[in-house]
Amino acid sequence: MRDRFAPESSVYRYVTEQARKIAECHGFSEVSTPVLEHASVFERSLGADTDVVGKELYKFVDRGDDMLTLRPEGTAGVVRALLTSQQLDGKPRRLFYNGPMFRRERPQKGRLRQFEQFGVEMLGHNHPTADVELIRMGWSFIQHLGLSKSAQLEINSIGTASDRAQYRLQLHEYLLGVHDRLSADSQRRMHENPLRVLDSKAPEDQHAVQNAPRLLDHLTEDSKNRFAFVCGMLDAVDIPYHVNWRLVRGLDYYNDTVWEIKYMDEQLGASQDTILAGGRYDSLVQTLDGHRTAPAVGWAAGVDRLALLLPSDTCTVSTAPTVAVISVLEQLKADDSAASPLERDAAVHAAAQTVADGIRAAGYRCVQLHHTSGKVQRLGRLLAAADADASATVAVLIGGDEIAAGQVIVRHLASRQQITCTREDMTQVLARILSDHR
């Protein structure tokens, strides 16, 4: 825990303002949660065997005999806030937060006991396009900071809880065979949570697990297909990535897609090289509530580590009308021979991501609407969602016919005026429609 003055405080402000700008351009709104929470919020959600719960929580009993803790991360608190305020009503939520977190770790460069995070959470979307949007959003943030040339995106799938339970048994059996080659920490962890041995930074552990079984080989077909879709979408939109089979993340609430962005030079040191990390956490709402469920995905960036890599600067954030981008999908026919709806619709989803990027680059706030996984939602319902859920003024539609013609449809939601134009003319048409309906 430490004090900050200018010019260091200016760097922190710059990082968080850039992150806020990216989040708002993606249609996210701000949420603020208390620094103090009931300890059970994190003990139930993060996992009893995690280092955070086992060794790093700052917790105490207050005068009312409540066990409280300084928050160690942001996601569980955001989900708790949505549950207690009755805002998980079936509508999708896009939220971002910024503030201090606390863990009792050994202080070192880029790792403080009080550290600052910026995070985003998207709840209500189970389609893997949501995973891709958030990965791209995080990568765009790192690009805007000018750090992407020295950064590497690493991704993996950790499947379902059932996948991991079966894999954990095989991994534990393997680790028993190399027990004497592991570090002291990993010799302890292999019995408590063997997956944590995989992402150990100790050289002896990295060498010992080289021939360990791969979690990717033990996934269900649904998880394998989902991960293949995410990788294919990242290829389609030219986001460079590396599949790291040892990437498991340190908190129990994750499932399926997980990722980290690492800074690859030696400024931060090997054990502090992760500057942004995230993943899908579809079971967290049910873990905290006991009844309701909601698919969710999010990421958090370490502001302290990013600030170490940047010079002092400032930025301003502009506001603009919201534009919704909608993928227009064909209804699945009985004789459709495509391998899966995900595979069939991938080109449309990729084009929609690219269109959304172009709109954001022009300075507009843009929300991409995601279909429910395994279903094709009717256009009328998506247009209604663009108005009611995303508070959009204009929708941009793209489907197979538009891709073939190199066009999009720009539709003003209130007046229903719509114009078909080339993708090159899209931002000019957007400006004209918005000007006509001020």
Binding residues are 73-75, 103, 117, 121, 249, 253-254
Q: How far apart are the first and last CA of the chain?
A: 49
**Non-local CB neighbours of 338 within 8 Å, separated by 6+ positions:** 344
Q: Which helix (H) or strand (E) holds 188?
A: helix 184-192
258's tokens: 């997980």
Q: How far apart are CA 132 and CA 353, in angstroms?
A: 9
431's tokens: 């400006």
Q: How far apart are CA 128 and CA 21, in angstroms?
A: 24
- On the CB side of 140, CA atoms within 13 Å amount to 24
Q: How far apart are CA 25 and CA 317, in angstroms?
A: 10
DSSP notation for 37-53? EEHHHHHHHH-TTSHII
Q: Beta 274-280 vs 255-263: how paired, if at all?
A: antiparallel
Q: Which helix (H) or strand (E) holds 274?
A: strand 274-280
Q: How far apart are CA 25 and CA 318, in angstroms?
A: 9
Amino acid at 64: G
43's tokens: 């003990």
DSSP notation for 311-323? -----------EE
Q: Which residues are annotated as a binding site for L-histidine?
A: 73-75, 103, 117, 121, 249, 253-254
**Bond prior to 7 in cis (omega within 30° of 0):** yes
CA neighbor of 258 nearest in space, from 40, 391, 75, 31: 75
Q: How far apart are CA 305 and CA 116, in angstroms?
A: 9
Exposed, middle or buried, 248 (CB in 10 Å: 0-12/13-18/19+)? buried
Q: How far apart are CA 334 and CA 244, in angstroms?
A: 38
CA angle, 11 then 13 then 14, to 5°:
65
How many other CB atoms are found less than 10 A from the CB of residue 5?
7
